[in-house]
Homo-oligomer: A and B are copies of this chain.
Amino acid sequence: MPEDTVGAFVPGPHAQVAGAATGPLAGLHCAIKDLYDIAGWPTTYGNPDWARTHPVPDSTATVVTMLLQAGASVVGKTKTVELAYGLTGENVWHGTPTNPAAPDRFPGGSSCGSAAAVAARLVDFAMGSDTAGSVRIPASYCGIFGIRPSWGAISLAGAAALSPPYDTPGWFARDAATLRRVGEVLLPTQPSATPTLLLKPSEAWANADPDAAESLAPAIARLEALLGPAIPVSLVPEGLATLYETFRCGSAPEVWAALGPWISSTSPEFGPGVKERFAAAAAMDPALAAQARAFRRVFQSRMHALLAGGAVLAYPTAPGPAPFLTATQAEQNAERERTISVTSIAGLPGLPEVTLPLGTADGAPVGLSLVAAPGRDLALLALAERLVP
């Protein structure tokens, strides 16, 4: 493996496990976000107190085992935002990985190290995980391909939880073919499904920086050549910010249920922003959370009804390029809200989303997302490959 010039890997000796000699991923090297267990190696979850208070695992996460059996070799564990609770990719304990595509900007998180390792060509692909955008956003920011699969399609056994009703695995690659090959190993068999219709959700396009949206026009034109003219649709007459609020209020009790007991008993040290986010999760008003859960179901039905016939949504993965490393916490928070408003389109209803590095704004990458009905992951991956062969 080339030298880790971007600080993608967790400091210390690299967790290295050779894959099977033969298999569909034979010869590929991958990195694993440090919230998946690998037997014999500590799982830090991005935080020294977590590492200190958890035994070294004696078993390996299901997805890692599947990759090894398919022939991929693990070359190390990659940095994550502490407890995966953040979108910039900052980690004050391990050091924030460099964004290889825009070194003066954040790499995006929480799967920051995996994205940086792929973008810096240190590995062929890397596993991350995604709750609010933790694969999609770093993929968009670092200019690579990424997927958040249908919720529940792939096991998270042996992975640390953040907010289970929203958590999914996910992975990164530099080309659509590799992204699909990994999907064919990890995803269950799915009924073949041909995308039939291209929908452009007005709110997501209006929410994006104008130059970011404009830079994706050629990609939309190529999609239209495959699927016919894009149909503008408004997904959230209630306003896009409703999706952010629904995610914020609905996921908080799950976050606190998953991690509150450990935080309360351990009183860990956290970097800037992380502590505040957990405090907010702990303090969530149950009435707001119930309202959010109810709206999540409404939105889920709406999206399933819209996409059941094979329609594909296309929109900018993130509203703009990665924030600068010099952004204030307030600026980061504002961008976080604007970003989660968009990532929640797929995140709340558990839809598969593939992001492709097809846009730029202000000289930095912006992804184009393709989203479909649950269970159409492989169809999306195939569409991505047709679009960027």
Which residues of A does B touch, CB under 8 Å?
196-197, 202, 228-235, 237-238, 298, 301-302, 304-311, 373
Contact = CB atoms under 8 A, between A and B. Distances in A.
A220 to B, nearest CB: 12
A225 to B, nearest CB: 13
Nearest to A373: B309
Contacts of A309: 304-309, 373
Contact of A233 (B231, B301, B307, B308): B231
Contacts of A235: 231
B306 A197 contact: yes
A380 to B, nearest CB: 15
Copies in the complex: 2
A336 to B, nearest CB: 26
12 contacts: A196-B302, A197-B302, A197-B305, A197-B306, A228-B302, A230-B237, A231-B237, A233-B233, A304-B309, A305-B309, A305-B311, A306-B309
Given A309-B309, A310-B308, A302 B238 contact: no
Contacts of A308: 308-310
Contacts of A307: 309
Contacts of A305: 196-197, 309-311
A187 to B, nearest CB: 22
B237 A229 contact: yes
A309 B301 CA distance: 9
B233 A232 contact: yes
Contact of A306 (B231, B304, B373): B231
B233 A234 contact: yes
Given A196-B304, A308-B310, 13 more contacts: A196-B302, A197-B302, A197-B305, A228-B302, A229-B238, A230-B237, A231-B306, A232-B232, A232-B234, A233-B234, A304-B309, A308-B309, A309-B309
A301 B229 CA distance: 12
A311 B229 CA distance: 20
Listed from nearest, the 10 A-B pairs whose CB atoms lie closest are A308-B309, A305-B309, A196-B305, A197-B305, A229-B237, A232-B234, A233-B233, A308-B308, A305-B310, A305-B311
Q: Which of A228, A305, A309 has the most CB of B within 10 A?
A: A305
Nearest to A238: B229
Contacts of A234: 231-233
Nearest to A228: B298
Nearest to A302: B197
A301 B302 CA distance: 20
